[in-house]
């Protein structure tokens, strides 16, 4: 097998020049063309502890726009590089699938559930349902909106403040994250 980097690599002048071998070039150009690669933000997998969880996330996030993915048991075992590990279905489900799904649901941008695909009594695969979580917009801390006296007077005329005292108006505006200098009493 050829190395990825050719022997022509040179260093100097605070930089480096690297020549890739001819066997790796097609893969690099597919990166630019948007080839068959799963692209995701690292922040989406940062909370995943299990290597199986990361791989399951990669396998499922590809299908989030479709909303589901069926994977035969034999293919899933290959995709997760399980080999002879977790031979019993209960161990596979407990230590790989259920653990991965739990971590994915808690720490990523997708929500996943699954059902067994059976032939007779034997489980032959899994049907995964994938949904994109609605992203909560975090409320900015200490990012209050400042109001001028003219703004306060204009807002105080709104129907929601009809019959309210200036103290009630100011208290409501403070709860809505507005800041100002209280002059009215």
Higher pLDDT among residues 39 and 14, named by residue: 14
- Structural domain that includes position 163: 145-179
- What confidence category does residue 134 fall into, taking pLDDT thresholds of 50, 70 and 90? confident
The reply to whether 137 falls in a domain is: no
Q: Say if residues 128 and 68 touch (Cβ distance below 8 Å).
A: yes
76 and 156, same domain (yes or no): no
98 and 166, same domain (yes or no): no
Total domains, the chain: 3
Return the pLDDT at 121: 94
**Least confident segment among 13-27, 55-69, 70-84, 91-105:** 13-27
The reply to whether 138 falls in a domain is: no
Cα–Cα separations (whole angstroms), residue 159 to 31, 80, 155, 169: 57, 61, 9, 12
Does the structure show a pLDDT above 70 at 114? yes
The reply to whether 2 falls in a domain is: yes
151 and 168, same domain (yes or no): yes
Q: What mean pLDDT do residues 147-164 have? A: 83
50 and 106, same domain (yes or no): yes
The reply to whether 140 falls in a domain is: no
The reply to whether 139 falls in a domain is: no
63 and 80, same domain (yes or no): yes
Nearest to 44 by CA among 100, 107, 135, 99: 107
Return the pLDDT at 9: 57
74 and 111, same domain (yes or no): yes
The reply to whether 90 falls in a domain is: yes
3 and 80, same domain (yes or no): no
122 and 168, same domain (yes or no): no
Return the pLDDT at 178: 78
52 and 126, same domain (yes or no): yes
Give CA–CA dist 97/116, Å, rounded: 11
Give CA–CA dist 58/43, Å, rounded: 13
Return the pLDDT at 31: 54
List the beta bridge partners of residue 70. 127
Return the pLDDT at 1: 47
**Of 132, 155, 170, which residue sits at a domain end?**
132
Does the structure show a pLDDT above 60 at 184? no
**Least confident segment among 33-37, 133-137, 139-143, 144-148:** 33-37
- What confidence category does residue 159 fall into, taking pLDDT thresholds of 50, 70 and 90? confident
Give CA–CA dist 100/55, Å, rounded: 9
Is 153 strand, coil or helix?
helix
22 and 97, same domain (yes or no): no
Does the structure show a pLDDT above 70 at 153? yes
69 and 85, same domain (yes or no): yes
User: Is the pTM of the predicted complex or chain greater than 0.75?
Assistant: no
Cα–Cα separations (whole angstroms), residue 44 to 86, 111, 115: 27, 12, 24
The reply to whether 184 falls in a domain is: no
Does the structure show a pLDDT above 50 at 61? yes
Q: Could you tell me the CATH number of the domain that includes residue 94?
A: 1.10.10.10
Return the pLDDT at 46: 80
87 and 54, same domain (yes or no): yes
């Amino acid at each position: 097998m050829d190395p990825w980097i050719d022997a022509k690599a040179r260093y100097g002048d605070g930089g480096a020049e690297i020549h890739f071998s001819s066997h790796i070039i097609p893969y690099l150009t597919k990166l630019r063309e948007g080839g068959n690669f799963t692209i995701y933000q690292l922040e989406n997998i940062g909370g995943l502890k299990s290597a199986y969880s990361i791989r399951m996330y990669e396998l499922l996030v590809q299908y989030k726009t479709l909303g589901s993915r069926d994977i035969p048991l034999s293919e899933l075992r290959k995709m997760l590089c399980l080999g002879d590990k977790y031979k019993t279905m209960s161990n596979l489900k407990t230590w790989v699938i259920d653990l991965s799904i739990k971590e994915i649901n808690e720490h990523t941008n997708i929500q996943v559930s699954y059902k067994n695909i059976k032939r007779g009594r034997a489980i032959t695969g899994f049907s995964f349902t994938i949904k994109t979580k609605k992203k909560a917009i975090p409320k900015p801390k200490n990012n209050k909106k400042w109001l001028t006296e003219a703004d306060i007077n204009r807002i105080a005329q709104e129907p929601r403040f009809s019959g309210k005292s200036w103290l009630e108006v100011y208290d409501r505006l403070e709860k809505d994250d507005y800041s100002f200098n209280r002059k009215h009493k």
